[in-house]
């Protein structure tokens, strides 16, 4: 009996150690999350885990719920069901501005730059999550506020340099190309020093050379220790740089695997990769043949 109890103790200790390793490697966990708008279910019971330091690509047809997932993570939409955990802290009970301060930032598909502010000033806005001077100190231009303002400018210039836009820091957004505006939005998100960076269709509207440059930059960010979750319609590019691929269709998770596994699955390759991505109804029709 004593030997059995000792054996069980060793097994439980091993299991707990395994769980600690899993917990330490996972940065974001989505647990059976759903959201509905009236009778329309946009996301239906989706679960997946993102490991620290990985690039995860979410792909799927239009209306699959991809961007909705990002909004749920950022707190811009409330969950109807399920839980979202980030660094072992539950996110879906936290206001959006607190989520940003925890280390989650998003680059939106429409970028949302302030048109009457310079690119430098736009990027400086991203620093608000870690500033602490307050309105009074800033208004009175007290020493701490001045020092912090200098730090904010240095941070913004550093991020603009990272994306190759330091020479255009004092231009208005309207004077920049579409790709440069996208990079400005990325620099603003990076100014917040995120642990998890959410990208909503980062390749949208870009030419081939610009896509290649952005892919190199995303891989550099990964090397710098940033975990990345991206939603993308361009499946070839999304798989090329990803460690993990999640496929959504009609709000449901179809697959969650490595790019190699995704490409080697004939059914997935036929229905979700390459040219036009089919919708769930077409997939069901093809599967029934």
- Greater confidence (2 vs 159) lies with 159
The pLDDT, as a whole number, for residue 14 is 43
- Assess whether pLDDT exceeds 90 at residue 241: yes
Domains within the chain, CATH numbers bracketed: 32-103+194-289 (3.40.50.300), 114-184 (no CATH)
- Assess whether pLDDT exceeds 50 at residue 284: no
The pLDDT, as a whole number, for residue 96 is 87
Distance CA 176, CA 160 (A): 13
Cα torsion for 193, 68, 272, 105, to the nearest 10°? 0
The single residue listed with the structure tokens 């960076």 is: 197
- Determine the angle formed by the axes of helices 208-223 and 178-190, rounding to 10 degrees: 10
- Assess whether pLDDT exceeds 90 at residue 150: no
Distance CA 137, CA 132 (A): 9
Are residues 143 and 149 in contact, defined by beta-carbon separation less than 8 angstroms? no
Average pLDDT over residues 66-90: 95
* 283 burial level (CB within 10 Å; 0-12, 13-18, 19+): buried
The pLDDT, as a whole number, for residue 8 is 43
Average pLDDT of the chain is 85
DSSP for 76-109 reads SS--SEEEEEETTEE-TTS-HHHHHHHTEEEE-T
- Assess whether pLDDT exceeds 90 at residue 82: yes
Distance CA 43, CA 70 (A): 11
Give the model confidence (pLDDT) of 250-278 as tens digits: 999 999 999 999 999 998 998 998 634 44
- Assess whether pLDDT exceeds 60 at residue 21: no
- Assess whether pLDDT exceeds 70 at residue 282: no
pTM comes to: 0.83
The pLDDT, as a whole number, for residue 220 is 97
How does residue 130 score in pLDDT terms, banded at 50, 70 and 90? low
Give the model confidence (pLDDT) of 184-214 as tens digits: 999 999 999 999 999 999 999 999 999 999 9
Are residues 58 and 232 in contact, defined by beta-carbon separation less than 8 angstroms? yes
Are residues 196 and 91 in contact, defined by beta-carbon separation less than 8 angstroms? no
The pLDDT, as a whole number, for residue 79 is 95
Which residue in 200, 237, 219 sits closest to 55, CA to CA? 219
């Amino acid at each position: 009996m004593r030997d059995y109890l000792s054996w069980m103790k060793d097994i439980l200790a091993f299991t707990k150690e395994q769980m600690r390793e899993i917990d330490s490697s996972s940065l974001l966990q989505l647990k059976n999350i759903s959201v509905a708008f009236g009778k329309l279910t946009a996301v239906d019971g989706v679960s997946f885990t993102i490991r620290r330091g990985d690039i995860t690509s979410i792909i799927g047809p239009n209306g699959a719920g991809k961007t909705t997932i990002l909004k749920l993570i950022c707190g811009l939409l409330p969950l109807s069901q399920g839980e979202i955990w980030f660094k072992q802290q539950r996110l879906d009970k936290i206001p959006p501005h607190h989520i940003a301060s925890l280390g989650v930032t998003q680059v939106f598909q429409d970028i949302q730059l302030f048109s009457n502010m310079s690119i430098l000033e736009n990027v400086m806005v991203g620093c608000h999550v870690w500033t602490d001077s307050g309105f009074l100190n800033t208004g009175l231009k007290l020493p701490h506020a001045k020092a912090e303002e200098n730090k904010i400018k240095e941070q913004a210039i550093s991020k603009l340099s990272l994306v190759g836009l330091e020479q255009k820091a004092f231009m208005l957004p309207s004077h920049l190309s579409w790709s440069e505006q996208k990079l400005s939005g990325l620099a603003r998100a990076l100014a917040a020093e995120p642990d998890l960076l959410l990208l909503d269709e980062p390749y949208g509207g870009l030419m081939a050379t610009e896509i290649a440059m952005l892919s190199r930059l995303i891989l550099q960010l990964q090397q710098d220790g940033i975990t990345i979750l991206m939603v993308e319609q361009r499946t070839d590019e999304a798989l090329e740089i990803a460690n993990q691929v999640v496929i959504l269709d009609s709000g449901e998770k179809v697959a969650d695997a490595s790019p190699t596994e995704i490409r080697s699955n004939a059914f997935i390759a036929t229905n979700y990769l390459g040219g036009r991505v089919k919708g769930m109804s077409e997939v069901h029709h093809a599967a029934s043949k």
